[in-house]
């Protein structure tokens, strides 16, 4: 009813064309140090029923797109939370925040607020000072081998 493959050292599996790992119930992958998956073309994670969790107990989570766009889509709400620090949204050219017909656009040196209804500002005081600006400090995406800022084990 069961098959166990064990070795005190290393094991390797190779296929000249296709390799499939399929189970009728659960599949678990575990690594004591590093788990790496690499694809020469494309990669997908899909769940038909349930969700997907990405959790880093110690260390950062990083998503990078080097030569195309990144979309984050949800049929319902999206929440971005920082429980102990700040949230930074940076763009080289423009940031647009939109809800319904109301919009805030940060475009170079200009800020445009557009809404079909009331625009209300609530504050203890209003100070209107002269103009000031600073370019967004954007780090370029790495070329070649990625060097992550953290120092946790990984494979190449």
Q: What pLDDT, in 10s, does the model give residues 49-59? A: 989 999 999 99
* Residue 155: predicted pLDDT: 47
Contact present, 115 and 103 (Cβ < 8 Å): yes
Query: Residue 142 domain-assigned?
Result: no
Structural domain contains residue 32: no
Q: Is residue 103 part of a domain?
A: yes
Q: Assess if residue 100 is contained within a domain.
A: yes
pTM here is: 0.66
Q: Phi-psi region for residue 108, left (φ > 0), alpha (ψ -120 to 50) or beta?
A: left
Does residue 104 lie within any of the structural domains?
A: yes
With respect to residue 22, please indicate whether it lies within any of the assigned structural domains.
no
Note whether residue 55 is domain-resident. no
- Going from the C-alpha of 67 to that of each of 40, 58, 128, the distances in angstroms are 15, 29, 41
Q: Which residues of the chain have pLDDT under 70?
A: 145-156
> How many structural domains are present in the chain?
1
Q: What is the pLDDT of residue 87?
A: 94
Q: Which domain holds residue 110?
A: 91-117
Residue 139's pLDDT is 79
pLDDT tens for residues 122-152?
A: 999 988 888 887 777 887 877 776 555 555 5
- Would you state the pLDDT for residue 119? 93
| 106 CB burial (10 A radius; 0-12, 13-18, 19+) | middle
């Amino acid at each position: 009813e069961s098959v166990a493959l064990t070795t005190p050292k290393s094991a390797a599996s190779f296929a000249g064309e296709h390799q499939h790992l399929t189970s009728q119930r659960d599949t678990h992958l575990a690594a004591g140090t590093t788990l790496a998956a690499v694809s020469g073309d494309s990669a997908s994670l899909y769940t038909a029923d349930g969700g997907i969790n990405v959790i880093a107990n110690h260390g950062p989570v990083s998503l990078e797109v080097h030569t195309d766009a990144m979309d984050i889509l949800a049929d319902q709400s999206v929440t971005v939370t920082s429980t102990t620090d700040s949230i930074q949204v940076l763009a080289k050219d423009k940031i647009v925040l939109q809800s319904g017909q109301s919009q805030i656009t940060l475009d170079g040196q200009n800020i445009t607020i557009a809404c079909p209804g009331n625009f209300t500002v609530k504050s203890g005081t209003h100070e209107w000072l002269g103009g000031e600006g600073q370019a967004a400090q954007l780090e370029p995406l790495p070329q070649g081998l990625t060097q992550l800022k953290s120092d946790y084990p990984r494979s190449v």
